[in-house]
Amino acid sequence: MAVVKANAYGHGLGPVAKALVGHAEMFGVATVGEAEELRSHVPDAPIFILGPALPDERLPVVTGCFIPAISTVEEARAYAALTGAKPLPVHLLIDTGMGRVGILQDDAVATAREILSLRGLTVTGLASHLPVADEDDAFTREQLAQFHQVVGQLRSLGISQPVVHVENSAGIISYPTQAGDMVRAGLMIYGSSPVPEFQPKLRAVMTWKTRVTLVREMPAGHGISYGRTFITPRPMRIATLGVGYADGYQRHLSNRSADVLIGGQRCPVLGRVTMDQILADVSALPQVTAGDEAVLIGSQGGEEISAAELAQKSGTIPWEIFTGVGRRVERAYHG
Ligand SMILES: *Cc1c(COP(=O)(O)O)cnc(C)c1O
Protein backbone atom coordinates (compact mmCIF):
# COMPACT_ATOMS: atom_id res chain seq x y z
CA MET A 1 0.00 0.00 0.00
CA ALA A 2 1.32 3.40 -0.95
CA VAL A 3 0.33 5.85 1.79
CA VAL A 4 -0.54 9.13 0.06
CA LYS A 5 -2.42 10.92 2.83
CA ALA A 6 -1.85 14.63 3.50
CA ASN A 7 -1.40 15.49 -0.17
CA ALA A 8 1.11 12.63 -0.58
CA TYR A 9 3.16 13.92 2.35
CA GLY A 10 3.15 17.38 0.78
CA HIS A 11 4.43 16.16 -2.58
CA GLY A 12 1.10 16.52 -4.40
CA LEU A 13 -1.56 13.80 -4.45
CA GLY A 14 -2.40 13.55 -8.14
CA PRO A 15 1.07 13.32 -9.68
CA VAL A 16 2.37 11.01 -6.93
CA ALA A 17 -0.59 8.63 -7.13
CA LYS A 18 -0.42 8.48 -10.92
CA ALA A 19 3.32 7.73 -10.77
CA LEU A 20 2.63 4.84 -8.37
CA VAL A 21 -0.11 3.16 -10.41
CA GLY A 22 1.19 -0.28 -11.28
CA HIS A 23 3.71 -0.18 -8.43
CA ALA A 24 1.31 -0.11 -5.50
CA GLU A 25 -1.68 -2.47 -5.27
CA MET A 26 -3.58 -0.23 -2.90
CA PHE A 27 -3.50 3.40 -1.80
CA GLY A 28 -3.90 4.59 1.78
CA VAL A 29 -5.39 7.94 2.77
CA ALA A 30 -6.47 9.35 6.13
CA THR A 31 -9.92 10.74 5.34
CA VAL A 32 -12.96 10.28 3.12
CA GLY A 33 -12.27 13.68 1.55
CA GLU A 34 -8.80 12.53 0.56
CA ALA A 35 -10.23 9.27 -0.79
CA GLU A 36 -12.66 11.17 -3.01
CA GLU A 37 -9.92 13.43 -4.35
CA LEU A 38 -7.67 10.43 -4.97
CA ARG A 39 -10.43 8.59 -6.85
CA SER A 40 -10.42 11.32 -9.50
CA HIS A 41 -6.70 10.66 -10.14
CA VAL A 42 -6.70 6.84 -9.98
CA PRO A 43 -10.19 5.66 -10.95
CA ASP A 44 -9.48 1.93 -10.70
CA ALA A 45 -7.15 1.56 -7.72
CA PRO A 46 -8.35 0.15 -4.37
CA ILE A 47 -8.38 2.95 -1.79
CA PHE A 48 -8.07 2.18 1.93
CA ILE A 49 -9.05 4.77 4.53
CA LEU A 50 -6.62 4.58 7.44
CA GLY A 51 -8.70 6.59 9.92
CA PRO A 52 -12.31 6.30 11.06
CA ALA A 53 -14.96 7.96 8.89
CA LEU A 54 -17.40 10.28 10.63
CA PRO A 55 -20.95 8.89 10.91
CA ASP A 56 -22.15 11.13 8.07
CA GLU A 57 -19.22 10.07 5.88
CA ARG A 58 -20.10 6.37 5.94
CA LEU A 59 -22.53 6.56 3.04
CA PRO A 60 -19.90 8.27 0.84
CA VAL A 61 -17.49 5.45 1.80
CA VAL A 62 -19.97 2.84 0.60
CA THR A 63 -20.94 4.66 -2.59
CA GLY A 64 -17.29 5.50 -3.34
CA CYS A 65 -16.28 1.83 -2.93
CA PHE A 66 -13.54 2.81 -0.49
CA ILE A 67 -12.28 0.23 2.00
CA PRO A 68 -12.99 1.35 5.56
CA ALA A 69 -11.00 0.37 8.64
CA ILE A 70 -13.31 -0.86 11.38
CA SER A 71 -12.67 -0.39 15.12
CA THR A 72 -16.10 -1.01 16.67
CA VAL A 73 -19.24 -3.09 16.29
CA GLU A 74 -21.18 0.18 16.05
CA GLU A 75 -19.23 1.22 12.95
CA ALA A 76 -19.64 -2.23 11.43
CA ARG A 77 -23.43 -2.19 12.04
CA ALA A 78 -23.76 1.25 10.48
CA TYR A 79 -21.85 0.19 7.36
CA ALA A 80 -23.82 -3.06 7.14
CA ALA A 81 -27.06 -1.06 7.18
CA LEU A 82 -25.86 1.08 4.28
CA THR A 83 -24.73 -1.65 1.90
CA GLY A 84 -26.87 -2.94 -0.90
CA ALA A 85 -26.89 -6.41 -2.43
CA LYS A 86 -23.11 -6.54 -2.73
CA PRO A 87 -21.27 -6.90 0.62
CA LEU A 88 -18.81 -4.14 1.51
CA PRO A 89 -15.20 -5.25 1.92
CA VAL A 90 -13.79 -3.96 5.24
CA HIS A 91 -10.57 -4.41 7.19
CA LEU A 92 -10.64 -4.94 10.95
CA LEU A 93 -8.13 -2.93 12.94
CA ILE A 94 -6.62 -4.47 16.04
CA ASP A 95 -5.13 -2.14 18.67
CA THR A 96 -1.98 -3.99 19.72
CA GLY A 97 -0.41 -0.97 21.40
CA MET A 98 -0.89 2.16 19.31
CA GLY A 99 -3.84 3.35 21.39
CA ARG A 100 -5.46 5.39 18.64
CA VAL A 101 -7.98 3.26 16.74
CA GLY A 102 -8.85 -0.42 16.51
CA ILE A 103 -10.41 -3.19 18.57
CA LEU A 104 -8.43 -3.86 21.74
CA GLN A 105 -6.42 -7.01 21.22
CA ASP A 106 -8.08 -8.81 24.15
CA ASP A 107 -11.55 -8.12 22.70
CA ALA A 108 -10.60 -9.00 19.13
CA VAL A 109 -12.12 -12.48 18.98
CA ALA A 110 -15.43 -11.61 20.65
CA THR A 111 -15.84 -8.39 18.65
CA ALA A 112 -14.90 -10.04 15.37
CA ARG A 113 -17.49 -12.74 16.04
CA GLU A 114 -20.21 -10.10 16.36
CA ILE A 115 -19.03 -8.29 13.24
CA LEU A 116 -18.87 -11.53 11.25
CA SER A 117 -22.51 -12.22 12.10
CA LEU A 118 -23.57 -9.04 10.27
CA ARG A 119 -24.89 -9.38 6.78
CA GLY A 120 -23.63 -6.82 4.28
CA LEU A 121 -19.95 -6.84 5.22
CA THR A 122 -17.06 -9.04 4.25
CA VAL A 123 -13.85 -8.88 6.24
CA THR A 124 -11.06 -8.88 3.66
CA GLY A 125 -8.23 -7.54 5.81
CA LEU A 126 -6.75 -7.57 9.33
CA ALA A 127 -4.47 -4.75 10.39
CA SER A 128 -2.64 -3.12 13.25
CA HIS A 129 -0.17 -0.26 13.66
CA LEU A 130 3.27 0.10 15.27
CA PRO A 131 3.81 3.07 17.63
CA VAL A 132 7.53 2.56 18.34
CA ALA A 133 8.98 0.66 15.38
CA ASP A 134 11.94 3.06 15.27
CA GLU A 135 12.26 3.50 19.03
CA ASP A 136 11.59 0.34 21.06
CA ASP A 137 12.73 -2.95 19.60
CA ALA A 138 11.57 -5.18 22.47
CA PHE A 139 8.06 -3.71 22.48
CA THR A 140 7.74 -3.92 18.70
CA ARG A 141 8.91 -7.56 18.54
CA GLU A 142 6.40 -8.53 21.21
CA GLN A 143 3.66 -6.49 19.54
CA LEU A 144 4.25 -8.13 16.15
CA ALA A 145 4.24 -11.60 17.71
CA GLN A 146 0.96 -10.88 19.49
CA PHE A 147 -0.64 -9.37 16.40
CA HIS A 148 0.18 -12.44 14.31
CA GLN A 149 -1.19 -14.66 17.09
CA VAL A 150 -4.48 -12.71 17.12
CA VAL A 151 -4.58 -12.97 13.33
CA GLY A 152 -4.35 -16.76 13.71
CA GLN A 153 -7.32 -16.75 16.09
CA LEU A 154 -9.36 -14.56 13.74
CA ARG A 155 -8.59 -16.80 10.78
CA SER A 156 -10.03 -19.72 12.73
CA LEU A 157 -13.30 -17.77 13.12
CA GLY A 158 -13.73 -18.09 9.39
CA ILE A 159 -12.04 -14.93 8.08
CA SER A 160 -10.61 -16.62 5.05
CA GLN A 161 -7.55 -15.26 3.31
CA PRO A 162 -7.49 -11.81 4.88
CA VAL A 163 -4.87 -9.32 3.71
CA VAL A 164 -2.74 -8.93 6.83
CA HIS A 165 -0.91 -5.61 7.25
CA VAL A 166 0.85 -3.94 10.16
CA GLU A 167 4.06 -2.24 9.05
CA ASN A 168 4.81 1.44 8.41
CA SER A 169 8.19 2.49 6.97
CA ALA A 170 10.11 1.88 10.19
CA GLY A 171 8.53 -1.56 10.49
CA ILE A 172 9.31 -2.45 6.88
CA ILE A 173 12.97 -1.52 7.34
CA SER A 174 13.54 -3.14 10.73
CA TYR A 175 11.15 -6.15 10.77
CA PRO A 176 10.86 -7.28 7.14
CA THR A 177 9.97 -10.88 8.02
CA GLN A 178 7.00 -9.89 10.22
CA ALA A 179 5.16 -7.90 7.57
CA GLY A 180 2.26 -10.21 6.77
CA ASP A 181 0.81 -9.81 3.26
CA MET A 182 1.01 -6.08 2.66
CA VAL A 183 2.96 -3.12 4.03
CA ARG A 184 1.82 0.47 4.38
CA ALA A 185 4.74 2.50 3.13
CA GLY A 186 4.59 6.23 3.69
CA LEU A 187 7.73 8.21 4.47
CA MET A 188 10.08 5.82 2.69
CA ILE A 189 8.34 6.10 -0.68
CA TYR A 190 9.26 9.78 -0.58
CA GLY A 191 12.90 8.79 -0.10
CA SER A 192 13.27 9.58 3.59
CA SER A 193 14.15 6.86 6.08
CA PRO A 194 12.92 6.87 9.68
CA VAL A 195 15.95 4.68 10.44
CA PRO A 196 19.10 6.78 9.77
CA GLU A 197 21.32 3.78 8.87
CA PHE A 198 18.92 2.90 6.05
CA GLN A 199 18.97 6.38 4.48
CA PRO A 200 21.81 5.61 2.00
CA LYS A 201 19.48 3.08 0.32
CA LEU A 202 16.90 5.78 -0.43
CA ARG A 203 16.96 8.87 -2.58
CA ALA A 204 14.92 11.93 -1.66
CA VAL A 205 12.03 12.59 -4.03
CA MET A 206 11.58 16.25 -3.17
CA THR A 207 13.93 19.12 -3.75
CA TRP A 208 12.66 22.29 -2.12
CA LYS A 209 14.08 25.48 -3.52
CA THR A 210 13.52 29.18 -3.29
CA ARG A 211 15.36 32.12 -4.79
CA VAL A 212 17.49 34.99 -3.62
CA THR A 213 15.36 38.12 -3.85
CA LEU A 214 17.98 40.65 -2.69
CA VAL A 215 21.64 40.78 -1.75
CA ARG A 216 22.77 43.53 0.60
CA GLU A 217 26.06 44.61 2.16
CA MET A 218 25.32 45.13 5.83
CA PRO A 219 27.49 47.09 8.27
CA ALA A 220 28.65 45.68 11.59
CA GLY A 221 26.23 46.06 14.51
CA HIS A 222 22.99 45.85 12.51
CA GLY A 223 20.09 43.76 13.81
CA ILE A 224 18.82 41.05 11.48
CA SER A 225 15.08 40.23 11.44
CA TYR A 226 12.40 40.29 14.17
CA GLY A 227 13.56 40.36 17.73
CA ARG A 228 17.05 41.52 16.66
CA THR A 229 18.26 38.11 17.86
CA PHE A 230 21.23 38.31 15.49
CA ILE A 231 23.43 41.42 15.34
CA THR A 232 26.05 41.48 12.58
CA PRO A 233 29.44 41.06 14.32
CA ARG A 234 31.24 42.49 11.27
CA PRO A 235 30.28 43.81 7.85
CA MET A 236 28.39 41.00 6.12
CA ARG A 237 26.88 40.25 2.74
CA ILE A 238 23.37 38.98 3.42
CA ALA A 239 20.87 37.46 1.02
CA THR A 240 17.13 37.78 1.46
CA LEU A 241 15.25 34.63 0.37
CA GLY A 242 11.63 34.26 -0.62
CA VAL A 243 10.49 31.61 1.84
CA GLY A 244 9.11 31.74 5.35
CA TYR A 245 7.10 29.87 7.92
CA ALA A 246 3.93 30.39 5.86
CA ASP A 247 5.58 28.10 3.29
CA GLY A 248 6.45 25.51 5.94
CA TYR A 249 9.99 26.67 6.61
CA GLN A 250 9.63 26.23 10.35
CA ARG A 251 9.91 29.28 12.59
CA HIS A 252 11.61 26.91 15.01
CA LEU A 253 14.60 26.98 12.64
CA SER A 254 15.32 30.52 13.87
CA ASN A 255 18.81 30.67 15.38
CA ARG A 256 19.18 26.88 15.24
CA SER A 257 22.19 26.72 12.91
CA ALA A 258 20.05 25.90 9.90
CA ASP A 259 21.71 26.27 6.50
CA VAL A 260 20.55 26.80 2.94
CA LEU A 261 22.56 25.91 -0.15
CA ILE A 262 23.54 28.75 -2.47
CA GLY A 263 26.21 28.41 -5.13
CA GLY A 264 26.82 24.85 -3.95
CA GLN A 265 27.76 26.00 -0.45
CA ARG A 266 26.14 25.92 2.96
CA CYS A 267 25.04 29.40 4.03
CA PRO A 268 23.82 29.94 7.61
CA VAL A 269 20.30 31.23 8.16
CA LEU A 270 20.54 34.37 10.31
CA GLY A 271 18.06 35.58 12.91
CA ARG A 272 14.38 34.71 12.97
CA VAL A 273 12.44 33.02 10.21
CA THR A 274 9.62 35.40 9.24
CA MET A 275 6.34 34.59 7.53
CA ASP A 276 7.58 35.15 3.99
CA GLN A 277 11.33 35.77 4.09
CA ILE A 278 14.54 34.48 5.63
CA LEU A 279 18.07 35.88 5.67
CA ALA A 280 21.22 33.96 4.84
CA ASP A 281 24.89 34.80 5.22
CA VAL A 282 26.51 34.88 1.77
CA SER A 283 29.65 36.76 2.84
CA ALA A 284 31.77 33.98 1.34
CA LEU A 285 29.98 34.15 -2.02
CA PRO A 286 30.73 37.45 -3.78
CA GLN A 287 29.04 36.30 -7.01
CA VAL A 288 25.54 35.68 -5.55
CA THR A 289 22.83 37.87 -7.04
CA ALA A 290 19.07 38.25 -6.94
CA GLY A 291 17.38 35.41 -8.81
CA ASP A 292 19.90 32.74 -7.77
CA GLU A 293 18.48 29.44 -6.54
CA ALA A 294 18.67 28.54 -2.86
CA VAL A 295 18.08 24.93 -1.84
CA LEU A 296 16.23 24.36 1.42
CA ILE A 297 15.94 20.57 1.05
CA GLY A 298 17.98 18.69 -1.53
CA SER A 299 21.44 18.85 -3.04
CA GLN A 300 23.44 21.49 -4.79
CA GLY A 301 27.11 21.15 -5.70
CA GLY A 302 28.43 18.47 -3.37
CA GLU A 303 26.25 19.50 -0.44
CA GLU A 304 22.92 18.07 0.68
CA ILE A 305 20.29 19.13 3.21
CA SER A 306 17.79 16.43 4.10
CA ALA A 307 14.31 16.76 5.54
CA ALA A 308 15.71 14.86 8.52
CA GLU A 309 18.33 17.59 9.06
CA LEU A 310 15.70 20.35 9.06
CA ALA A 311 13.50 18.23 11.31
CA GLN A 312 16.28 17.63 13.79
CA LYS A 313 17.25 21.31 13.90
CA SER A 314 13.67 22.48 14.37
CA GLY A 315 12.80 19.83 16.94
CA THR A 316 10.32 17.90 14.81
CA ILE A 317 10.21 14.89 12.47
CA PRO A 318 10.60 14.62 8.68
CA TRP A 319 6.89 13.74 8.31
CA GLU A 320 5.99 17.20 9.65
CA ILE A 321 8.58 18.95 7.47
CA PHE A 322 7.15 17.34 4.30
CA THR A 323 3.49 17.78 5.18
CA GLY A 324 4.19 21.36 6.24
CA VAL A 325 5.39 22.52 2.82
CA GLY A 326 2.76 25.11 2.09
CA ARG A 327 0.35 25.69 -0.74
CA ARG A 328 2.24 28.78 -1.86
CA VAL A 329 5.20 26.58 -2.85
CA GLU A 330 4.81 25.74 -6.51
CA ARG A 331 5.24 22.03 -7.27
CA ALA A 332 7.06 21.01 -10.45
CA TYR A 333 7.33 17.37 -11.52
CA HIS A 334 10.09 15.65 -13.49
CA GLY A 335 9.94 12.35 -15.31
C1 LIG B 1 0.62 7.28 8.08
C2 LIG B 1 0.44 5.84 8.31
C3 LIG B 1 1.33 4.91 7.76
C4 LIG B 1 2.60 5.31 7.03
O5 LIG B 1 3.59 5.58 7.99
P6 LIG B 1 5.09 5.96 7.56
O7 LIG B 1 5.82 5.99 8.85
O8 LIG B 1 5.03 7.30 6.92
O9 LIG B 1 5.56 4.90 6.63
C10 LIG B 1 1.05 3.56 7.91
N11 LIG B 1 -0.04 3.16 8.59
C12 LIG B 1 -0.89 4.03 9.17
C13 LIG B 1 -2.08 3.50 9.93
C14 LIG B 1 -0.68 5.38 9.07
O15 LIG B 1 -1.53 6.24 9.66
pLDDT digits (tens, 9 = 90+) for 246-266: 999 999 999 999 999 999 999
Ligand 1, atom 14, residue with closest C-alpha? 50
Q: Is 91 in the pocket of ligand 1 (CB under 6 A)?
A: no
Say whether 178 sits in a helix, a strand or coil: helix
CATH topology of domain 208-323: Lyase, Ornithine Decarboxylase; Chain A, domain 1 (2.40.37)
Say whether 29 sits in a helix, a strand or coil: strand
Mean pLDDT of 105-110: 98
Q: What are the DSSP calls for 122-163, one per residue?
A: EEEEEE---SSTTT-HHHHHHHHHHHHHHHHHHHHTT--SPE
Q: How far are the Cα atoms of 55, 124, 232, 249, 261 from residue 209, in angstroms, in the given order?
A: 41, 43, 26, 11, 9
pLDDT over 90 percentage in the chain: 99
Any idea which of 85-89, 103-107, 247-251, 316-320 has the lowest mean pLDDT?
85-89
Q: Is 201 a catalytic residue?
A: no
Who's near 330: CB < 8 A, 6+ residues apart?
none
∠ CA 290-296-302, rounded to 5°: 90
CATH topology of domain 2-200: TIM Barrel (3.20.20)
Measured in Å, residue 184 CA sits from the centre of ligand 1 at 6
pTM confidence score: 0.97
Mean pLDDT of 278-304: 98
Measured in Å, residue 5 CA sits from the centre of ligand 1 at 9
Mean pLDDT of 135-140: 98
The domain limits of the chain are 2-200, 208-323
Q: Is 234 annotated as a binding-site member?
A: no
Measured in Å, residue 3 CA sits from the centre of ligand 1 at 7
Q: Is 275 annotated as a binding-site member?
A: yes
Mean pLDDT, rounded, of the chain: 97
Name the residue among 177, 201, 175, 176 with its Cα closest to residue 189: 201
Name the residue among 321, 333, 176 with its Cα closest to residue 245: 321
Task: Give pLDDT tens digits for 83-96.
Answer: 988 999 999 999 99
Mean pLDDT of 103-110: 98
Provide the pLDDT for residue 243: 98
Contact in structure between 95 and 102 (CB atoms under 8 Å): yes
Q: Is 5 a catalytic residue?
A: yes
Task: Give pLDDT tens digits for 139-186.
Answer: 999 999 999 999 999 999 999 899 999 999 999 999 999 999 999 999
Ligand 1, atom 1, residue with closest C-alpha? 186
Provide the pLDDT for residue 114: 98
Contact in structure between 192 and 269 (CB atoms under 8 Å): no
Provide the pLDDT for residue 84: 86
Mean pLDDT of 308-326: 98
Provide the pLDDT for residue 335: 78
CA–CA separation, 67 vs 25, rounded Å?
A: 13
> Which one is catalytic: 18, 86, 201, 226?
226
Q: How many CB atoms lie within 10 A of CB 156?
A: 9
Task: Give pLDDT tens digits for 188-239.
Answer: 999 999 999 999 999 999 999 999 999 999 999 999 999 999 999 999 999 9
Does 208-323 match 2-200 at the fold level?
Answer: no
